[in-house]
Amino acid sequence: MVQSGSNMHERQHLYIDGSWVEPNGEGTIEVVNPATEKIIGSVPVGSESDANAAVEAARAAFSSWSESTVDERSNYLNLLSSALKDRGEEMAELITSEVGTPIEYSRMAMVGTPRVVSRSYAKILDGFVWEEEVRNSIVVKEAIGVVAMITPWNFPLHQIIGKIAPAIAAGCTMVLKPSKEAPLNAFVLADILDEIGLPNGVFNLISGHGREIGETLASHPEVDMVSFTGSTNAGIRVSELAAPSVKRVTLELGGKSANIILDDADIPRAASSAIYSCFGNSGQECSALTRLLIPEDSREEVVEIIASKIGRYTVGDPMEGTSKCGPLVSKRQQESVSRYISTGIDEGATLVAGGEGMPNGLDSGFYVRPTVFADVTPEMTVFREEIFGPVLCITTYSNEEEAIELANDSEYGLSGGVWSGDEARAMKIARKLRTGQVSINGGAFNITAPFGGYKKSGLGRELGIHGMEEFLETKSIQR
């Protein structure tokens, strides 16, 4: 049974047009700590009229904000980055209590990365080319307008900043609807944006249910663009709602990414890395490398390495710095991942580690056992469907061509990995993968490179200059 906890974060107002206002909707959304199953806070349920008011405020603010100077927008981005640094520990602990992310990972990825992303857009503005001459034309980049932003729970602040920062840089105004599972950090962000003096109406925050707030924003005639991150099915619905008004839609959706170990790779290093590439944030990453493709001859070695190391992937209280894997975000998510684990067993995959039930020593919290399956074949459910939990699936291949075919045998195309002792060979493979990003031999994530997917993993790109250009229109002026 879910109980109320101490240190409650109760938010009773929505942020519209530079003020905290009473919502017109009824009721609240309770936020549950997935490690303790206790209620840690609540946010109000906004209504369609609240969403309309937020869009109206953003529309009214657009004319003046879109004409603000590059220096003004750059200054706000730097102030935002500094404020996130000053409140970093507060935000990290809050996100850990909302999502269950281990605290060290929260400090680094959940708060540290958004801080750097904010600052990166100030640097991008410094050298961005807003207009150029093409023969007798001046080609001008302009802010697209009012942007509706619908964000998920797994990287709540990072996904918000990945939209807000380029929108601020571009000169757009915005309305944010954060996830129901992890909305509290968005309210702290609104406090920060208010405190740094971002002009009224530039940023607006509406909490509530997707079927009301999300659908209102996606279909609203005064919204020029929808930036959505979430499930593929929800992204399809956003596209359907946006289509009648022909607004721009960017989508960052699901993934079932493959990690290929070639026969000339450093097998121990690649196999060890495969654990962390799959299990980061308890496997709740759309870009997680959840399918490990290995040479047939290396099957025993890889399985032995992973089996020996998975025990060190400690599961427990995410506030303790020693835990590498925390709970899943909700009871619903726990049940979903548990069903996939059971399905993998039922369909004949070889259980290497983990399995059904709670991790040893835990009897509460939304935990599952970090699980590894070997001998997974393409017709199995766990090979094809996004699990969104700490479940690694190992599949063998007979030759390089089959490895590429298996990697591309997915309706998704968000991420990927290639391991080889020959970088040129790895690069050749990477170019053949139908996916939005590929890491070679564990290449580090780059916040200034474009992030996004092929196929059902989405439309458009986030981060870096490419992410900012999603928020811009192009105009040609002939003379």
* Strands across the sheet containing 350-355: 350-355, 369-374, 391-397, 291-295, 258-261, 416-419, 439-440
367, 358 in Cβ contact below 8 A? yes
Residues 212, 311: one domain?
no
212 in a structural domain: yes
Q: How many domains does the chain have?
A: 2
- Give domain status of residue 169, yes or no: yes
Q: Encoding tokens for residue 58?
A: 């953003």
- Indicate if 229 and 326 belong to the same structural domain: no
Residue 344 within any structural domain of the chain = yes
Identify the active-site residue in 172, 278, 286, 393. Answer: 286
**Does residue 452 lie within any of the structural domains?**
no
| Per-residue pLDDT, 311 | 84
Residue 321: predicted pLDDT: 86
Distance CA 197, CA 210 (A): 29
Q: What is the domain-level CATH number for residue 37?
A: 3.40.605.10
Domain holding 464, by residue range, is: 3-253+457-478
- In angstroms, the CA 472 to CA 169 distance is 10
Same domain, 202 and 267: no
CA distance 50 to 24: 6
The answer to whether 333 and 366 have CB atoms below 8 angstroms apart is: yes
Closest to 127 in 3D by CA, of 476, 467, 465: 465
**Partners of 476 in the β-ladder:** 139
CA 34 to centroid of chain Cα atoms: 19
Which pair of tokens denotes residue 181? 């599972």
Do residues 247 and 314 share a domain?
A: no
Give me the tens of pLDDT residue by residue for the chain, a chain 479 residues long. 344 444 689 999 999 999 999 999 999 999 999 999 999 999 999 999 999 999 999 999 999 999 999 999 999 999 999 999 999 999 999 999 999 999 999 999 999 999 999 999 999 999 999 999 999 999 999 999 999 999 999 999 999 999 999 999 999 999 999 999 999 999 999 999 999 999 999 999 999 999 899 999 999 999 999 999 999 999 999 999 999 999 999 999 999 999 999 999 999 999 999 999 999 999 999 999 999 999 999 999 999 999 999 988 899 999 998 999 999 999 999 999 999 999 999 999 999 999 999 999 999 999 999 999 999 999 999 999 999 999 999 999 999 999 999 999 999 999 999 999 999 999 999 999 999 999 999 999 999 999 999 999 999 999 999 999 999 999 999 99
Q: Does 400 lie in the same domain as 286?
A: yes
Taking the alpha carbons at both ends of the chain, their separation in whole angstroms is 70
| Whether residue 132 lies in the annotated active site | no
Phi, psi dihedrals of residue 178, rounded to the nearest 5°: -80, 170
Three-class HEC string of 112-153: HHHHHHHHHHHHHHHHCCCEEEECCEEEEEEECCEEEEECCC
**SS3 of residue 92 by DSSP:** helix
Q: Which residues, other chains included, contact 379 with Cβ-Cβ below 8 Å and sequence gap of 6+?
A: none
Structure tokens of 321? 């710095």
What tokens were used for 338? 């548990």
Q: Are residues 115 and 242 in the same domain?
A: yes
Which residues have a Cβ under 8 Å from the Cβ of 219 and sit 6 or more positions away? 241, 242, 244, 245
Residue 47 lies in a domain: yes
245 with 207, same domain: the answer is yes
Q: How far apart are CA 132 and CA 472, in angstroms?
A: 15
252 is annotated as an active-site residue: yes
Please list, residue by residue across 30-52, b when 16 or more beta carbons sit within 10 angstroms of its beta carbon and e when fewer do: ebbbbbbbbbbbbbbbbbbebbb
Is residue 16 in a domain?
Answer: yes
Report d(CA 338, CA 410) in Å as an integer: 22
pLDDT of residue 5: 45
Same domain, 442 and 467: no
Using CA atoms, how far residue 205 sits from 3, 138, 177, in Å, is 27, 36, 6
- The CATH number covering residue 414 comes to 3.40.309.10
Q: Which of 252, 386, 462, 470 is catalytic?
A: 252
What's the confidence (pLDDT) of residue 14?
98
Instruction: Report helix, strand and coil shares of the chain as percent, to nearest 5.
Output: 40, 25, 35
Give the global pTM: 0.96
Do residues 179 and 194 make contact, with C-beta atoms less than 8 angstroms apart? no
Q: 384 and 398 share a domain? A: yes
Do 346 and 466 sit in the same domain of this protein? no
Looking at 13-146, list the stretches that DSSP marks H as alpha helix, in order from N- to C-terminal side.
Answer: 48-66, 70-86, 88-99, 103-105, 113-127
Kindly write down the DSSP assignment for every residue of 327-374, as one continuous string: --SSHHHHHHHHHHHHHHHHTT-EEEEEESSPPTT--SSS--EEEEEE
Same domain, 336 and 365: yes
137 and 84 belong to one structural domain: yes
Whether 451 is covered by a domain: the verdict is no
37 falls within a domain = yes
C-alpha Rg value of the chain to the nearest Å: 23
